[in-house]
């Protein structure tokens, strides 16, 4: 059972082309709200077109730095909120506080390309693994049991891997290991940037409180509904206001 798509929360770098951005630096430097929405669709006969949306909001402080190879807009921030929304009330997935704390720190990285219409954002995929330690995060096989020495209690809740709560037709807790990569592809607009999120995920259930929660289902990303906005905001904005701004942006 694939439980949720991995977000581009932990990292994204913005690297620009060789042209200087000195004239635009004051416009690009500052605090931003990053809103990301990724959607996966499950192929379940009794629940056709069941989709799960992962929605996250972060605050990041970005600055422009230039070197001989070009310019970079880079910075760090924090996760304000992350939640999962199902298209059916019969299946709901909840992310425990321990997992949210694990994803709390946000480093932003991507590249920008100048074109006749302005600036185009292109983030290279970066892999993140939850619940296991892999030498090669992209290519190593994921562990298939909690006994695999690469598995560890990543969210610190006393269970191997990371724990997700499922409620609905069958309710319980599931322990998983997961890896994924995502990339932001977008365009600059008057308020910042907006565009699509391209992502891939893979997970393995290594434990569950009920046997039914180990059932595998086919899922696929929905690129038409997986999007982001990166909006510049006032420097003193905190998470409460960022969440309100995010709801207006979507």
Asked if the structure places residue 4 within a domain, the reply is no
User: Domain residues for 237?
Assistant: 13-249
Domain membership of residue 7 (yes or no) is no
Cα–Cα distance, 126 to 212 (Å, whole number): 32
Q: If DSSP states are collapsed to H, E and C, what string results for 37-72?
A: EEEEEEEECCEEEEEEEEEEEEEEEEEEEEECCEEE
Tens digits of per-residue pLDDT, 18-40? 445 555 666 888 999 999 999 98
Residue 5: inside a domain: no
Please check whether residue 8 lies inside any domain of the structure.
no
Q: Is the pLDDT of residue 108 over 90?
A: no
Task: Confirm whether 134 is domain-assigned.
Answer: yes
pTM of structure:
0.84
pLDDT higher at 142 or 213: 142
Query: For residue 137, what are its two tokens?
Result: 């995060």
Provide the pLDDT for residue 221. Answer: 86
Residue range 48-72, pLDDT digits in tens: 667 888 999 999 998 877 766 556 7
The count of structural domains within the chain is 1
Q: Would 225 be classed as within a structural domain?
A: yes
User: Domain for residue 66, yes or no?
Assistant: yes
- Tell me, yes or no, whether 64 lies in a domain: yes
Does 47 or 173 have the greater pLDDT score?
173
For residue 51, what are the β-bridge partners? 41
């Amino acid at each position: 059972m694939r439980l949720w798509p991995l977000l581009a929360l932990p990292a994204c770098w913005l690297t620009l082309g060789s042209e200087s951005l000195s004239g635009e630096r004051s416009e690009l430097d500052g605090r931003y709200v990053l809103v990301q929405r990724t959607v996966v669709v499950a192929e379940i006969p009794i629940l056709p077109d069941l989709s799960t949306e992962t929605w996250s909001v972060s605050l990041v402080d970005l600055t422009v730095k230039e070197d001989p190879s070009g310019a970079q807009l880079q910075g760090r921030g924090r996760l304000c909120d992350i939640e999962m929304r199902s298209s059916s009330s019969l299946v709901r997935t909840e992310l425990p506080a321990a997992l949210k704390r694990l994803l709390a720190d946000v480093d932003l990285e991507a590249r920008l390309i100048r074109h006749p219409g302005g600036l185009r954002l292109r983030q290279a995929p970066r892999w993140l693994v939850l619940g296991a330690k892999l030498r090669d995060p992209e290519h190593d096989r994921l562990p298939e049991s909690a006994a695999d020495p690469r598995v560890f209690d990543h969210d610190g809740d006393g269970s191997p891997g990371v724990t997700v709560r499922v409620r609905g037709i069958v309710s319980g807790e599931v322990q998983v290991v997961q890896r994924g990569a995502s990339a932001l592809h977008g365009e600059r607009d008057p308020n910042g940037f907006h565009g699509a999120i391209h992502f891939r995920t893979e997970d393995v259930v290594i434990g569950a409180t009920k046997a039914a929660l180990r059932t595998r289902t086919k899922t696929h990303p929905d690129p038409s509904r997986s999007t982001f906005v990166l909006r510049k905001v006032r420097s003193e904005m905190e998470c409460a206001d960022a969440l309100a701004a995010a709801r207006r942006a979507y």
